[in-house]
Amino acid sequence: MTEASDDFEAVQARDAADAVYADLLARVGEGSPRPRLAPTRRAVELLGDPHRAAPVIHLTGTNGKTSTSRMIESLLRASGLRTGLLTSPHLERFTERIRIDGEPISDDAIARNWEEILPFIAIVDAELEEAGEGPLTYFEVLTVLAFACFADAPVDVVVLEVGMGGEWDSTNVADGQVAVFTPIDLDHQARLGSTVTEIARTKSGIIKPASSVVSARQPDAALEVLEDAAELTESTLAVEGDAFDVLESRVAVGGQLVSIRGLAGEYRDIALPLFGRHQAENAAVAIAAVEAFIGGGAVRLADEVIDGLATTTSPGRLQTIGTEPTVIVDAAHNPHGAESLVSALDEYFDFDELVFVFGVLADKDAEGIASVLARTGGAFLVTRPDSERARDAADVAAAVAARIGADRVQVVDRLDDALDEARAWAEDGPKRAVVVTGSIGLVAEAMAIAADREWGRA
């Protein structure tokens, strides 16, 4: 086969994968999930139950889900298991969401599995229409596609991140052997509930009978819900700060060195190539989850397995996408995430002045996020993410200015213009940096612009 034919086939495969994504986008989007499981369950039953082809570690929470999922996957892969990983959302291409052995699924595999599941998706859509219900949504179909891809690979274990909530999220058709909870806080209140208790109750729905439950530190209200759910399902509950903990976190080149007390032993001076105390805590949760999965929490992980954390990446989370001047992106999209960002900027970086390129979706607490970021003394260039769900930049700017003062807030309609202005300001003084945050979509756009303009990577 010639190089030209190889290129042609690669282009064909990419076009086919892009066509799959276009079909997904034609459905009801992720911002409007339907609180139901029956249609997804029907689809996977028609396919022969691919969601039961491998054991599952299931994750939910408000912040840190994707980073923790990726850490768990890295540890499992280092233990010699073939892994499947589903995360959301994506930053560049939707194939990032479905990963086999740490790599985005190939365009060929996506297209092949799509063709195989499409007739069954059509059956379920027709049944829903007959019943007077809407067809399968984007995320419901994506979940079914992911299960099909994992069964086709095949994989030894699936690490499954919920899309939203837990109880009625389409991923919850799977029965997780281990249920993992990252920190729970207020977010998606219109869908999940207006209090931490209500949100925790929805998320606790991923706990299945006689499973292992591993949780980060939680507010008292959330922890009480998890304790009750674990008791009702006769599951074991291990909580950070009690059953396991971060012993130490030290700044190191490219990230940090962490020491962790796990469920079954201590792990010293682990290289973690991510910034922020919250990432050390995510690593502790990941280690405890893998200990619970592999040895029921009673067997210490081998050192070579723990070394798998050194391969973890978490794109869009405290990631440097430009140098001279420094441009950092972080996907903080609620006040809790902003708290972690501000803490990490203080502990791991040495900037005297910051400017935030800031944009949010309409259902997010822009004022709350900005109030946290404002503690740094930074100014705000407010722009609009490229999303139909985005909040108008002028509206966001007015709300932020009412909280922190109009002298620190400016509207720049286009992201590329906002980045140009922010970088020009940062170049004009020592120890200045640009931070892009407020929306995962905004972060993805900034990363694409940085790559196109070759700003350089740290």
b/e map of 361-373 (b: 16 or more CB within 10 Å)?
beebbbeebbebb
CATH class assigned to 319-453:
alpha beta
Q: At the topology level of CATH, where does 3-311 sit?
A: UDP-N-acetylmuramoyl-L-alanine:D-glutamate ligase (3.40.1190)
**Would you list the domain boundaries of the chain?**
3-311, 319-453
**pLDDT (tens digit, 0 to 9) for every residue of the chain, 458 residues total?**
566 566 778 889 899 999 999 999 999 987 778 899 999 999 999 999 999 999 999 999 998 999 999 999 999 999 999 999 999 989 889 999 999 999 999 999 999 999 999 999 999 999 999 999 999 999 999 999 999 999 999 999 999 999 998 999 999 999 999 999 999 987 656 667 769 999 999 999 999 999 999 999 999 999 999 999 999 999 999 999 999 999 999 999 889 999 999 999 999 999 999 999 999 999 999 999 999 999 999 999 999 999 999 999 999 999 999 999 999 999 999 998 999 999 999 999 999 999 999 999 988 899 999 999 999 999 999 999 988 889 999 999 999 999 999 999 999 999 999 999 999 999 998 899 999 999 999 999 999 999 999 886 44
